[in-house]
Amino acid sequence: MKKRKTAAMMNLNLKLIMKLGLTSIVILIITGTRHPAFAATPSDSAKVEQEVDSLLSRMTLAEKIGQMTQIDRKYLKSDSDIAKYYLGSLLSGGGSSPEMNTPSSWAEMCDGYQSYALSTRLKIPLLYGIDAVHGNNNVKGAVIFPHNIGLGCTRDSALVEKAERVTAEEVAGTGINWAFAPCIAVARDIRWGRTYESFGETPELQVEMAGAAVRGFQGDSLSGHSLVLACAKHFVGDGGTTGGKDQGNTVCDEATLRKIHLPGYVEAVRDGVGSIMVSYSSWNGLKMSANKYLLTDVLKGELGFKGFLVSDYAAVDQLQGDYSEEVKTAINAGLDMIMVPEHYRRFISTLTGLVNDGKVPMSRIDDAVRRILRVKFAMGIFEHPYPDSSWTATVGSPAHREVARACVRESLVLLKNKGRVLPLKKNLRRIVVAGKNADDLGNQCGGWTISWQGSSGDITTGTTILQGIKDAVSKETDVIYSRDGSGAKGADVGIVVVGETPYAEGAGDRTDLSLSDEDMAAINNLKRAGIPVVVILVSGRPMIITKALKEANAFVAAWLPGSEGEGVADVLFGDYKPSGKLSHSWPKSMSQIPVNYGDTKYHPLFPYGFGLTY
């Protein structure tokens, strides 16, 4: 698969954006926009618009507001409410799964929901959304890819496109037609608990990866050949909040917002993303869900975005005023679909009253519904409301796992290799593997895996790093696991896998990123055994590693590699050379955070783009 743009072109574009003034940036955005988004040809586009016009003209207010309503399936009072309220969309929040969490159970559930939508007068099919942020990560047995922070280190947009195509196939295989991905936040403060969902700290990486990810989900254009609708998120500035606080406030002028946080969305729109999720966060004190200027004037106006905007989970509830005021503000600002996700009857009643009272104009309702219908018609789900069942058999397939394994090995960043300890020989006599993350699939997958926050343990199908090491060595090599690193004397080498345990947004915000006492004890136990020590860090962001780095002969940042631990072993034992380059500047201490490439005083432990090889 060929890259659409070379890295050199991306760097040139970024430098141009960084140098241009605000007015020039706007001109660059407008003149550079292309729209393959909603049809492969102009005639297809015209046909979609005709179909939208025809259907919209026949819709009642109740049917229109139903299309603007998205609820979490676990809050459905009755499945028949899908038809009763003409619901346009359902979702599964993290952990909102059928009783039997298998691909076929998901497909059966989604098909059942779709049948209710198709029983209505106008037979408008549902969009069903899910947070497939590193594979179809809510489904047991699906392939779990490295989180975006690792994919950013690959600098390989073609591989990212391939990974998202695999994810799209596995999403479609569970009966779902909408993925809340890619996340193209520019994470500027690693204390933020969502840092791992971002490709990295620079707009350059978002520009390089955003379009590739969108194409992976949707193809070259949003059409009947698109397996899954993509959703770029979270518009805009969510990675720039003060102190890295989740759902916090990004404080900067407009030129800075456009220079750092907007370019990824420009690229996503250019490559036809059909939906964009609006951030919980604020810009200079104003919640993004209330920011008409950015949502309507900039995104829909200047950038020419033709798809629809969806709120984040219950985000409207965070706006000012009573519930009626919150809904009025969000809809008038430009939100087209509201992720309610629970009290849908109240939302429908409230928005109906606002329209009848003239507080939300019918033109705004028609614009929102037009955008939603445009996407549905362009995707071809009126003709094919049920995904092809043949995709179900591909979920977790060996071919898909091989793609994830390639992502793992390309994402690894070698930070230290004193004495050329790596690569290791496969015929060593005795290897001691230590650390809490060596034999824990849940820990190496991280948050947003099976459940919202993720969890430790054997939570899905995959291969741990320990098992990958065992599979890589010769039959004569003795691989021993000692969680605390004890009993390592006499071994040829010690490999210790340390770092973070799973978390997601909110709960992942940190004021201390030091390694735990348990991690340092395991490292020190191996060191005291008098053997070479290889440290593998499993984490969703750079951590404070100065002490560990001093004790290690070799140090590898493995990020959150997902379900295919063999990819780590591929590099440790030299089947592949390490090629990853840091997508974040690595701080020396907590006091140095935030530290980002381009800072006036820039002296990190390891700079952005650093990475050794053999």
State the DSSP string of 536-603.
EEE-SS--B-HHHHHH-SEEEEEE--TTBTHHHHHHHTTSS------SSPBPSSGGG-S--TT-SS--
Annotated catalytic residue within 156, 312, 509, 519? 312
Distance CA 523, CA 572 (A): 18
Distance CA 67, CA 194 (A): 30
Q: What is the DSSP letter of 555?
A: E
Q: Which residues contact 307 (CB under 8 A, 6 or more apart)?
A: 37, 38, 222, 273, 274, 275, 276, 371, 374, 375
Under DSSP, is residue 479 helix (H, G, I), strand (E, B) or coil? strand
Phi-psi region of 124 (alpha: psi -120 to 50; beta: other; left: phi over 0): beta
Residue 155 · residue 207 · CB < 8 Å: no
Which among 316, 357, 356 has a CA at the least distance from the CA of 336?
316
Structure tokens belonging to residue 6: 């070379």
- 312 catalytic, yes or no? yes
Sign of CA dihedral 204, 244, 179, 302: negative
Structure tokens belonging to residue 232: 């770029």
Q: What is the DSSP letter of 284?
A: T
CA distances from 543 to 242, 398, 417, 512 (A): 19, 33, 18, 9
Under DSSP, is residue 612 helix (H, G, I), strand (E, B) or coil? strand
Residue 225 · residue 378 · CB < 8 Å: no
Residue 170 · residue 391 · CB < 8 Å: yes
Which among 250, 253, 125 has a CA at the least distance from the CA of 185?
250
Distance CA 437, CA 502 (A): 11
Under DSSP, is residue 557 helix (H, G, I), strand (E, B) or coil? strand
Sign of CA dihedral 501, 235, 266, 585: negative
Distance CA 556, CA 506 (A): 27
Which among 372, 303, 273 has a CA at the least distance from the CA of 51?
372
Residue 67 · residue 375 · CB < 8 Å: no
Which among 368, 374, 294 has a CA at the least distance from the CA of 327?
368
Residue 170 · residue 135 · CB < 8 Å: yes
Distance CA 37, CA 35 (A): 5
Residue 321 · residue 289 · CB < 8 Å: no
b/e burial code for range 535-564 (CB count within 10 A of at least 16 → b): bbbbbbbbbbbeebbebbbbbbbbbbbbbb
Q: Which residues does the annotation mark as catalytic?
A: 312
